[in-house]
């Protein structure tokens, strides 16, 4: 940080970040609790969810909890609903986000809960490009694990397998490849990028079946985004949707000429070698003398005073507040 | 003093059209009042002329005729001389619509809707004359909450008694907020546009009872009338216990869902439901304990507090294959058939989709409009009845509703996002001769038990209930026939 920035009253770095997700309340119990899971009493600390209880014992039936991450403050997003369990008190609830209230009685084997887990896992698979043999995450994919554990042989709604409808692979970044046809929309990457790395690159966008992972800068491709290639998003991704470029085919079954990229329809490739620094720099925020855009978007007019013309900050130090890729940095 | 009691001169009210407002400033020889819609657009513009406790109603009357009608009445001294469609005798100082014998007004008992079509929506004097702007004792308010249930899917307490949630908010950490949800249901928008003070009376009484520091009125940007009127009413409301903000949200159906309403009010650019528990009553608007109630719920509260008893009425909007939709107010003992009687059905009634976009389908209209009776019949309690006439195809209807759900969901959770897509596919497959009743049933069940918000919980209801009530029609479609002759591309089954 430059000296002239120090005294400026900057907003929290997250202020200008727009992940496109709802502002969820904190989940978890208000205090220590004891719950009964399939007949076994489990004592839990304050802030626990039913999934903590379920994971602490040998349950009657396997609870997949596919979208759950549970580290680094990421999640629960509670979107896949493959973790449904029955409670005597509240009926069928998602274990990953339901607070472990004292005295709850949980049954994993209840018919309605088992049915919900089963159908929801099949629903996840219905929108998934299940070409595991050409996927870099083969063998270390949480969706694969969940499907194997649940004994899925033929998902009742089939799998997403129509080449015309595939979203093109985004292989434009030298570091991370995106295959949205494998994304389960667990939101981990978005939270890793925004809340952990505080980079503000990824977001959830669209609605209905058009819901997808996109970029806060409205960029179309990873290469055009403001990504700093830290790789955290790929680290937390449970499927082959985000993979570090070096290992996109690390675990694919070697069939000559058959790769992840050509197993689907189109691929957006990198446009030649990138000159200049490895990691594209973000443009510093324009000051009040600039177009005022960044200040508006951040709801804040803080400025560092050094870029009076709002030009890109050639030192590569991101200004505080919102990112503005502007589309014109090198 | 209100204008109704002006001794000799006739008072004219124009309901259901913006033109009334223009007439007010014109040189008509009488007082012309622009009032809100009556809820029965079929008779609107409805012009009424009142003189000495007698009102003549002129249905579908161009407001320009006001002048002629007024001079006729003024000359003869009698409202009947202008050849009205209906005449009602009433208290000369009447503050509620004297219900005329016109189509759409024959049923029920207007109390929540009493101001609609009679009082000027944003005129404090009219509302005060009707006993409004009371300052009820918070204890009485909390007590009323033990007997009043939330109305509409935009209400956080739909069908539940309100007191418990109010208690949570009152005892919660932080300054409470009250949100009036006027989004998503025609009756809620009607009340904001036609009787906003009734709604605000309920909201302010509640705000005082739970010590709320913020009051927000939320409506769809598409309901311009409701938004504008609520804005004006908010500025003229005397002495509100908290500043009243009016926020227009995106017009999408899902935007009425209580947590999406909060997201929209907070300004999130993408509309997505929030995880719960904890619900908004613990962590709501900007983290405050928040009550989200529909216009209907709050207006019912205001009336209950004013009358000192529960208004046991239900506001129901009838739409679909009808000449014009109508919003009526029924006693809880009335039936769906009574509601349908208020409108002119185009043909004979074959079925009705009861309770919102994702209501239940039924052939039987002999079901009470109270929440128990509706739930027992697998129908919804949102306060809408969509009539399907004999030549409508039920399979097509539920297919469209499923597709609407697939396109209109927020995309957050799998049972809804992927479930509605698969449901649409399963319904489409019926046309290809693949009729998987069990599959539809199972999917609908799982969507209902595991979706994150009530959008997904209900999205499968039209299909599931139709399957039960119209089994043979599904089978016929699987055989390549549409009994109603409506499906444009009947299946070609080999
Ligand atoms: S690699 Fe890029 S997109 Fe992924 S977390 Fe890091 S900055 Fe965000
Ligand atoms: S890309 Fe991976 S981490 Fe991100 S939402 Fe999709 S599946 Fe989850
Ligand atoms: S049920 Fe539907 S609308 Fe509600 S959160 Fe889930 S996807 Fe969104
Ligand atoms: S793990 Fe609970 S909803 Fe995905």
Q: Looking at the predicted complex, does its ipTM rise above 0.95?
A: no
Taking the centre of ligand 4 as the mean of its atom positions, its distance from the CA of residue A68, in whole angstroms, is: 5
Task: Report whether pLDDT(A308) > 60.
Answer: no
Query: Which atom of ligand 1 is found nearest the CA of A228?
Result: 7
Compute the distance between CA of residue A275 and CA of residue A136 in angstroms, rounded to an integer.
28
> How far A298 CA lies from chain B's nearest CA (Å)?
13
What pLDDT, on the 0 to 100 scale, is given for residue B308?
83
What pLDDT, on the 0 to 100 scale, is given for residue A164?
77
A119 at interface of B, judged by CB pairs closer than 8 A: yes
Specify the 3-state DSSP secondary structure of B184: coil
Alpha carbon B303 to chain centroid, angstroms: 17
Q: What is the mean pLDDT of chain A?
A: 79
DSSP state letter for B204: H
Query: Which residue, among A128, A92, A132, A134, has the nearest Cα to A110 in the 3D structure?
Result: A92
What is the pLDDT confidence band of residue A325, given thresholds at 50, 70 and 90?
A: very low
According to DSSP, the β-strands at B31-35 and B11-15 are parallel
Question: CB neighbours of B40 closer than 8 A, spacing ≥ 6?
Answer: B46, B102, B103, B104, B105, B324, B326, B327, B328, B342
Tokens read off for B26: 């014109």
Give pTM, 2 decimals.
0.88
Interface of A with B in 223-262 (CB under 8 A): none
Compute the distance between CA of residue B35 and CA of residue B94 in angstroms, rounded to an integer.
14
* Biggest distance spanned by C-alpha atoms of chain B: 79
Contact B276 A78 (CB under 8 A): no
Neighbours of A239 (CB within 10 A): 22
Specify the 3-state DSSP secondary structure of B165: helix
Query: Which atom of ligand 1 is found nearest the CA of A197?
Result: 5
Q: List the A84-87 sheet strands across, edge first.
A: A40-44, A33-37, A105-107, A84-87, A91-94
Task: Report whether pLDDT(A321) > 70.
Answer: no
Task: Report whether pLDDT(A230) > 90.
Answer: yes
Residue to substitute in B270, B410, B458, B459 for testing ligand 3 pocket (most ligand atoms within 8 angstroms of CB): B410
What pLDDT, on the 0 to 100 scale, is given for residue B189?
96
B171 at interface of A, judged by CB pairs closer than 8 A: no
What pLDDT, on the 0 to 100 scale, is given for residue B489?
58
For A182-192, letters b (16+ CB in 10 Å) and e give bbbbbbbbbbb
Least trusted range by pLDDT, from A150-164, A180-194, B364-378: A150-164
End-to-end CA gap in chain A: 22
Compute the distance between CA of residue B298 and CA of residue A258 in angstroms, rounded to an integer.
63
Contact list, B415 vs chain A (CB under 8 Å) = 81, 116, 119-120, 123
A124 to A77, A118, B415, B422, B424: CA distances (angstroms): 15, 10, 9, 11, 16
What pLDDT, on the 0 to 100 scale, is given for residue A317?
32
**Beta-bridge partner residues of A37:** A40, A106
What pLDDT, on the 0 to 100 scale, is given for residue A219?
94
Specify the 3-state DSSP secondary structure of A77: coil
What pLDDT, on the 0 to 100 scale, is given for residue B406?
97
B406 at interface of A, judged by CB pairs closer than 8 A: yes
Each residue's pLDDT tens digit, B397-434: 999 999 999 999 999 999 999 999 999 999 999 999 99
Interface of A with B in 18-77 (CB under 8 A): 18, 20-27, 76-77
DSSP state letter for B152: S
What pLDDT, on the 0 to 100 scale, is given for residue A260?
57
What pLDDT, on the 0 to 100 scale, is given for residue B111?
92
Residue to substitute in A66, A196, A238 for testing ligand 2 pocket (most ligand atoms within 8 angstroms of CB): A238
> How far A120 CA lies from chain B's nearest CA (Å)?
6
What pLDDT, on the 0 to 100 scale, is given for residue A280?
41
Query: Which atom of ligand 4 is found nearest the CA of A96?
Result: 2
Task: Report whether pLDDT(A5) > 50.
Answer: no
Q: Which residues of chain B have pLDDT under 70?
A: 1-8, 18-30, 488-494
What is the pLDDT confidence band of residue A322, given thresholds at 50, 70 and 90?
A: very low
Compute the distance between CA of residue A187 and CA of residue A67 in angstroms, rounded to an integer.
8
**H helix count then E strand count, chain B:** 18, 14
Contact B275 A25 (CB under 8 A): yes
Each residue's pLDDT tens digit, A256-295: 555 555 556 677 776 655 443 444 444 443 433 333 333 3
Tokens read off for B83: 């050849």
Helix residue spans in B112-252 (DSSP H): 124-129, 138-144, 163-171, 186-194, 196-210, 224-236
Contact list, A203 vs chain B (CB under 8 Å) = 270
Q: In the predicted model, what is the mean pLDDT of residues A166-171?
A: 90
Q: In the predicted model, what is the mean pLDDT of residues A158-173?
A: 86
């Amino acid at each position: 940080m430059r000296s002239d920035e120090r005294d400026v009253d900057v907003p929290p770095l997250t202020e200008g970040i727009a992940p496109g997700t709802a502002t969820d309340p904190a989940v978890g119990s208000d205090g220590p609790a004891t719950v009964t899971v399939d007949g076994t009493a489990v004592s839990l600390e304050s802030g626990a969810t039913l999934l903590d209880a379920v994971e602490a014992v040998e349950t009657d039936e396997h609870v997949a909890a596919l979208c759950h991450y549970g580290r680094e403050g990421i999640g629960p997003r509670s979107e896949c609903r493959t973790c449904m369990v029955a409670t005597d008190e509240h009926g069928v609830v998602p274990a990953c986000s339901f607070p472990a209230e004292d005295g709850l009685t949980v049954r994993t084997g209840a018919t309605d809960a088992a049915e919900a887990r089963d159908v929801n896992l099949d629903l996840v698979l219905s929108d998934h490009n299940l070409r595991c043999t050409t996927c870099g995450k083969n063998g270390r994919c949480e969706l694969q694990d969940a499907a194997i554990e649940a004994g899925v042989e033929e998902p009742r709604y089939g799998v997403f397998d129509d080449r015309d409808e595939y979203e093109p692979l985004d292989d434009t970044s030298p570091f991370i490849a995106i295959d949205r046809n494998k994304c389960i929309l667990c939101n981990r990457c978005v939270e890793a990028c925004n809340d952990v790395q505080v980079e503000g690159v990824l977001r959830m966008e669209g609605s209905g079946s058009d819901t997808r992972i996109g970029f806060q800068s409205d960029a179309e491709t990873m290469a055009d985004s403001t990504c700093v290639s830290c790789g955290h998003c790929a680290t937390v991704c449970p499927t082959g949707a985000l993979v570090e470029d070096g290992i996109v085919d690390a675990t694919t079954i070697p069939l000559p000429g058959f790769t992840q990229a050509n197993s689907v329809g189109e691929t957006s490739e990198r446009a030649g070698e990138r000159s200049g620094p490895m990691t594209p720099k973000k443009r510093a925020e324009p000051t009040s003398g600039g177009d005022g855009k960044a200040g508006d978007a951040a709801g804040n007019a803080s400025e560092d005073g050094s870029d009076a013309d709002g030009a890109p900050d050639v030192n590569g130090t991101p200004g505080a507040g919102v990112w503005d890729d502007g589309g014109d940095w090198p | 003093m209100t204008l109704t009691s002006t001794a000799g001169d006739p008072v004219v009210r124009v309901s259901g059209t913006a033109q009334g407002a223009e007439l007010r400033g014109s040189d008509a020889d009488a007082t012309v009042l622009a009032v809100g819609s009556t809820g029965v657009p079929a008779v609107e513009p409805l012009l009424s002329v009142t003189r000495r406790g007698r009102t003549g109603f002129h249905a579908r009357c161009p407001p320009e005729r006001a002048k002629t009608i007024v001079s006729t009445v003024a000359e003869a001294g009698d409202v009947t001389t202008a050849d009205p469609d209906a005449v009602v005798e009433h208290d000369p100082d009447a503050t509620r619509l004297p219900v005329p014998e016109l189509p759409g007004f024959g049923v029920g008992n207007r109390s929540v809707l009493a101001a609609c079509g009679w009082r000027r929506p944003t005129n404090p004097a009219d509302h005060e004359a009707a006993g409004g702007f009371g300052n009820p004792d918070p204890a009485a308010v909390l007590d009323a909450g033990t007997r009043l249930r939330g109305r509409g899917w935009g209400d956080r307490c739909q069908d539940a008694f309100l007191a418990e949630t109010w208690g949570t908010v009152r005892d919660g950490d932080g300054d409470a907020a009250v949100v009036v949800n006027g989004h998503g249901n025609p009756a809620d928008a009607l009340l904001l546009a036609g009787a906003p003070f009734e709604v605000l009376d309920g909201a302010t009484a509640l705000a005082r009872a739970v010590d709320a520091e913020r009051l927000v009125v939320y409506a769809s940007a598409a309901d311009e009338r409701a938004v504008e009127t609520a804005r004006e009413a908010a500025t003229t409301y005397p002495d509100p216990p908290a500043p009243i903000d009016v926020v227009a949200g995106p017009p999408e159906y899902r935007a009425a869902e209580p947590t999406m309403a909060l997201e929209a009010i907070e300004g999130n650019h993408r509309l997505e439901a929030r995880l719960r528990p904890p619900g908004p009553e613990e962590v709501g608007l900007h983290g405050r304990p928040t009550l989200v109630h529909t216009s209907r719920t709050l207006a019912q509260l205001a009336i209950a507090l004013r009358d000192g008893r529960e208004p046991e009425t239900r506001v129901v909007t009838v739409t679909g294959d009808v000449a014009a939709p109508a919003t009526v107010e029924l006693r809880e003992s009335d039936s769906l058939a009574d509601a349908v009687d208020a409108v002119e059905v185009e043909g004979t009634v074959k079925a009705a989709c009861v309770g919102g976009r994702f209501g239940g389908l039924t052939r039987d209209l002999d079901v009470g409009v109270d929440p128990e009776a509706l739930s027992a019949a697998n129908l919804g309690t949102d306060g809408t009845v969509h009539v399907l006439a004999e030549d409508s195809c039920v399979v097509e209807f539920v297919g469209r509703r499923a597709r609407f759900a697939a396109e209109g969901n927020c995309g957050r959770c799998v049972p809804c996002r992927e479930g509605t897509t698969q449901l649409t596919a399963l319904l489409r497959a019926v046309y290809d001769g693949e009729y998987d009743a069990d599959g539809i049933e199972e999917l609908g069940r799982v969507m209902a038990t595991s979706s994150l918000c009530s959008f997904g919980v209900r999205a499968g209801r039209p299909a599931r209930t139709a399957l039960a009530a119209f089994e043979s029609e599904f089978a016929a479609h699987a055989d390549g026939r549409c009994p109603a002759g409506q499906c444009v591309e009947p299946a070609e089954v080999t």
